[in-house]
Amino acid sequence: MQFPQALETVLEALERMRDQNAQHPSASRATLARLKETKPAEAVASNVPQTPFREPIEANRPCLEPRKIDVSQHQNATKSDQLSAINERVCACVKCPNLASSRTQTVFGIGNPEADLMFVGEAPGADEDAQGEPFVGRAGQLLTKIIKAMGFAREDVYIANILKCRPDTPGSAYGNRPPTPREMETCRPYLMEQIETIQPKVIVALGAVAVEGLLGTRAPMRELRGQWNEFNGTPLMITYHPAYLLRNQAPKEKRKVWEDMMQVLERLEKPISEKQRNYFL
């Protein structure tokens, strides 16, 4: 591990502890051993202007459908072209060095560039990092089920995350961690561009991290969900992240999400059948 990466790792850990109001720093033996391995020479070298972290970045898999498009030269560029151009910049992004060096690939977003409905989650997990597509793990399968119950195909809507890279989990062989506020702030402009390009009629924020990333609001989900908000003039519905429903299988929690989705269907002026009204996820 090079010095800037080690430093970034320590800073992120301290930020997380601050966010969690932790009193005492702690680190695993493995982390301490890795930090001790960092040579002072690397720290000195890091002060010299250069292009750090190139090796792991170049080792990344190519992004999905990379295409050379300069949309500034094409006034009639389609939304798909515009999204591809944003994706190219995301693929090359190393603004969060620790995430750029640990990711398998960036996870841009997927779906219909002309979608009326857009879902926004928090960040890729291990499955998404491996496959380059958002919401493909167990939570993603539940989201797809919700989308189908609403009368859409997964390809009809657009799905993206606040973060385009999987949050790294130094010292952990598995598991996910939520993005830090700084990571969200750094990556947010890409999502803004996606939303501005797609111009959905309704956005659904999935979970508290998505709400914080989009609206800058921090509050318990039980207070936030089911409420209409606005994101730059676009109606935004807040509901639970599908991962929450996997952890909490209580029918009344699932029903809450479905009621939120019925509000979305009404906002989109989609007819709701009796079967849908009585549906439980």
Inter-axis angle of helices 29-37 and 3-19, nearest 10? 150
Residue 116 and residue 268 in contact, taking contact as beta carbons nearer than 8 Å:
yes
2-32 exposure pattern, b = at least 16 Cβ within 10 A, e = fewer? bbbbbbbbeebbeeeeeeeeeeeeeeeeebe
- Closer Cβ to ligand SF4, 85 or 117, answer by number: 85
Q: Is 95 among the residues that bind ligand SF4 (CB under 6 A)?
A: yes
What is the CB neighbour count within 10 angstroms for residue 68?
7
Q: Is 106 among the residues that bind ligand SF4 (CB under 6 A)?
A: yes
- Closer Cβ to ligand SF4, 141 or 186, answer by number: 186
List the one residue from 2, 8, 164, 224 that touches ligand SF4 (CB under 6 A): 164
Return all residues near 71 (Cβ < 8 A) that are at least 6 apart.
77, 81, 82, 85
Residues between 166 and 185 with contacts to ligand SF4, criterion CB under 6 A: 183
Q: Is 165 among the residues that bind ligand SF4 (CB under 6 A)?
A: yes
Contact region with ligand SF4 (CB under 6 A), list: 98-106, 130-138, 150-158, 232-240: 98-106
Binding mask 125-154 for ligand SF4 (x = CB under 6 A): ------------------------------
Min separation Cβ 95 and ligand SF4, Å: 4
Among positive and negative, which fits the CA dihedral 46, 49, 53, 55? negative
Q: Interface with ligand SF4 by CB under 6 A: which residues?
A: 90, 93-96, 99-100, 106, 163-165, 183, 186-187
